[in-house]
Every structure is written in C-alpha cells, then in structure tokens.
A and B are shown apart, each in its own frame.
Chain A
Amino acid sequence: AQKITQTQPGMFVQEKEAVTLDCTYDTSDQSYGLFWYKQPSSGEMIFLIYQGSYDEQNATEGRYSLNFQKARKSANLVISASQLGDSAMYFCAMSLLRANSKLTFGKGITLSVRP
C-alpha cells in the first residue's frame, strides 16, 4: 500500500531564509502524483505544488520548488525567502492513477517563521 512519511519535528526558519521540508513516499506504482498542501491555523487546505512521476524536471511555483529524487523516493518542498505568512502545517500527499487519484497524506510538518 502507498505511504507518505514526514518525520521532521517542528521546523523553524528565519524570515527571508530558505527552508526544506522533507517527504519520502513508498509505492510500487509507476504512475503517481505528488502534492504539497499548506494548512494555516484557520484550517483551509491550500494547494502549493505538484510533481508527476514521469516529470523529468523539478516543479516550481513562485517561491515553492519541489526537489524530486525518484530513485530515493523523496519529494522535498523548498520554500525560498520565507515570509511570516508561511507559518503553517505542511502536508505531502500522493495520488495513484489506479486508485481514483484519491490522496494519501503524511502526518504533516509544522513550520514556524521567525521575524
């Protein structure tokens, strides 16, 4: 069965610095997608970035980039130039083509940005 692992404890970063949030995944499927979502304390789940299993280049969306290492089964999120508003819970998730694309989430990582 597919699994997402996020093991970092709460992360802290200084404002304007970059931070990497780790995510490893486990699946034997060849066709899958990897997503990162942000969940502020208000509760909404905000889509950040997507990486497909066949994509050869790392995905980028503004200040977010995904460091995709397929052989190591890792999909780390890099946030550049951190802002106070980046403080939130971050979830890595995976979808499988054969499983109706439902998302399997990790447990999440809490990021706190210090001024």
Chain B
Amino acid sequence: GAGVSQSPRYKVAKRGQDVALRCDPISGHVSLFWYQQALGQGPEFLTYFQNEAQLDKSGLPSDRFFAERPEGSVSTLKIQRTQQEDSAVYLCASSLTGTGVDQPQHFGDGTRLSIL
C-alpha cells in the first residue's frame, strides 16, 4: 500500500522485556516522526528524523527509549526494560519534506503496546 505501515499492530510484553516497533513510511518522504498516545489523550511527540539524521529526540521519556532510521527509510523504535507506564499506542508519521509548517503528517495505524 501507499500509506505508512507499522508493525506489529499489537504487542504484549512482560515488564522488563525489550520491544522493537517498526515503521515503514511513505516512499520518498523525508521526515519521520514518532508519537506516543496514552488512552484518552492526544499524541505526544517522541522523536524526529530527517532522512537518516535524528534531529530531535527531546520527547523521549527516558534513556530506555531509542530510535533509529539507518538508511533514511524504515525506522525502529526500541524500548528497553519495559515498564507498565510504557503501555500506550505508538504512532509513526511521515511527511514529504524536511522543512516547513505546511506539510501534513501522514500517520500509520499505530502499535498498541501493553506491558503486563
């Protein structure tokens, strides 16, 4: 398909386990964003890539969270030693260009992460 693809759709992990969430953006999109959405809340920014460069990681809640986009396309968000408060929906979005406020971000369906 032509949209942003995220996998897995659902992930259940035990507290303390590591998880990896994948995002495949729209082909040719320069910018890639990760957001975390708690139940009943709006998404909150985690990190931003322009091609392979991670330009902003100010939203990552702790050093347990790590994101990469090594070849400027697919991105992986990794959470180490998961905790219950990490339970949320993780949304990935991409936009066409690297600059400008007028670029709509196109979102994937998200990964719903549940930590037991």
Which of A12-20, A62-70, A71-79, A103-111 binds B?
Answer: A103-111
CB distance from A100 to the nearest CB of B (A): 5
Q: Please indicate the chain A residues that have their CB under 8 angstroms from the CB of B106 in the complex.
A: 47
Judged by a CB distance under 8 angstroms, whether A102 is at the interface is yes
Q: A102-B33, A102-B48 are in contact. Are A33 and B105 (CB under 8 A)?
A: no
Contacts of B59 in A (CB 8 A): 102
* Chain A proximity of B20: nearest CB distance (Å): 20
Q: Which single member of A4, A33, A45, A50 contacts B107 (CB below 8 Å)?
A: A45
Q: Please tell me if B99 contacts chain A, counting CB pairs below 8 Å.
A: yes
What is the chain A residue whose CB lies nearest that of B46? A102
User: For A96, what are the chain B residues with a Cβ–Cβ distance below 8 Å?
Assistant: 101
| B100 touches A (CB below 8 Å) | yes
Contacts of B43 in A (CB 8 A): 45, 91, 103, 105
| Interface membership of A25, Cβ < 8 A | no
How far, in angstroms, from A50 to B50 measured CA to CA in the complex?
A: 22
Distance from A62 Cβ to chain B, minimum over Cβ atoms (Å): 15
B interface footprint on A71-115 (CB within 8 Å = 1, 0 otherwise): 000000000000000000001010111011111111110000000
Whether B24 is near chain A, meaning CB under 8 Å from some CB there, is no
A56 proximity list for chain B (CB < 8 A): none
Residue of A nearest to B49 (CB): A100
B45 adjacent to chain A (CB < 8 Å): yes
Interface residues, chain A, CB within 8 Å of chain B?
A: 4, 31-33, 35, 37, 42-47, 50, 52-53, 91, 93, 95-97, 99-108
- With A101-B101, A102-B56, A107-B41 known, 15 other A-B pairs at CB within 8 A are A4-B42, A37-B107, A43-B109, A44-B107, A47-B105, A50-B104, A52-B102, A96-B101, A100-B50, A100-B55, A101-B100, A103-B33, A103-B45, A105-B42, A105-B44
